[in-house]
Amino acid sequence: MKPEQDRGRLFTRRAMILAGGQALMFTGLAARMYYLQVVESSHYRVLAEENRISLRLLPPPRGRILDRRGAPLATNAQNYRVVIVPEEAENIEQMLDRLDRLVQVPEHERRRIMREVRRRRAFVPVTVRENLSWEEVSRIEVNAPDLPGINIDVGETRSYPFDGAAAHVLGYVAAVSERDLTGDPLLELPGFRIGKTGIERQYDLQLRGKAGNAEVEVNALGRVIRELRRQEGQPGQNVHLTIDIGLQEFVAKRVGEERRAAVVVMDAHKGDVLAMVSVPSYDPNAFNEGLSGKEWNRLITNPDTPLTNKVIAGQYAPGSTFKIAVALAALEANIPPSFRTSCYGHVQLGNQKFHCWKKGGHGSVDMLDGIKLSCDVYFYELAKRVGIDRVSAMAKRLGMGQSLDLDIPGERNGLIPTRDWKLAAIGVPWQLGETLVAGIGQGYVLATPLQLAVMTARLVNGGFAVTPRLTLAPPGVDPADEPPHSFPPIGVADASRRLVIQGMVEVVNNPQGGTAFGSRITEKRFAMGGKTGTSQVRRISLAERDRGVRKNEDRPWRERDHALFVGFAPVDAPRYVVSVIVEHGGGGSKAAAPIARDVLLEAQRRDSSSVMPGRIAAAPPVDKGPAR
Per-residue pLDDT tens over the stretch 91-149: 888 888 888 888 888 887 888 888 878 876 676 677 788 778 888 888 888 888 888 88
Torsion of CA 572, 578, 582, 588, to 10 degrees: 20
d(CA 321, CA 371): 10
Query: For the chain, which domains are there?
Result: 56-240 (3.90.1310.10), 245-606 (3.40.710.10)
Treating both helix axes as pointing N-terminal to C-terminal, what angle do 245-254 and 593-606 enclose, rounded to 10 degrees? Answer: 160
Higher confidence at residue 6 or residue 609? 609
- Strands 65-66 and 239-240, sheet pairing: parallel
Q: Supply the pLDDT for residue 613.
A: 47
Mean pLDDT of the chain: 85
Q: Supply the pLDDT for residue 217.
A: 63
Residue 535 has pLDDT above 60, yes or no: yes
Treating both helix axes as pointing N-terminal to C-terminal, what angle do 388-397 and 376-386 enclose, rounded to 10 degrees? Answer: 100
CA 313 to mean position of chain CA atoms: 10
Higher confidence at residue 155 or residue 506? 506
pLDDT band for 621, please (50, 70, 90 cuts).
Answer: very low
Catalytic center residues? 320
pTM of the model: 0.81
pLDDT band for 90, please (50, 70, 90 cuts).
Answer: confident
Residue 382 has pLDDT above 70, yes or no: yes
Angle at 322 between CA 319 and CA 328, to 5 degrees: 155
Higher confidence at residue 420 or residue 107? 420
Q: In what order do the strands lie in the sheet with 261-267?
A: 273-279, 261-267, 576-582, 562-569, 529-535
Q: Supply the pLDDT for residue 548.
A: 53
Q: Supply the pLDDT for residue 239.
A: 95
**Strand, helix or coil for residue 373:** helix
d(CA 278, CA 167): 9
Average confidence (pLDDT) over 375-398: 97
Facing residues of 58 across strands?
Answer: 212
pLDDT band for 223, please (50, 70, 90 cuts).
Answer: low
Q: Supply the pLDDT for residue 515.
A: 94
Write the DSSP symbol of residue 37. Answer: I
Higher confidence at residue 541 or residue 458? 458
> What is the phi-psi region of residue 22: left when phi exceeds 0, alpha when psi lies from -120 to 50, beta otherwise?
alpha
Facing residues of 154 across strands?
Answer: 80
Question: Out of 23-37, 320-334, 427-441, which region has the weakest mean confidence (pLDDT)?
Answer: 23-37
Question: Out of 218-227, 270-279, 387-396, which region has the weakest mean confidence (pLDDT)?
Answer: 218-227
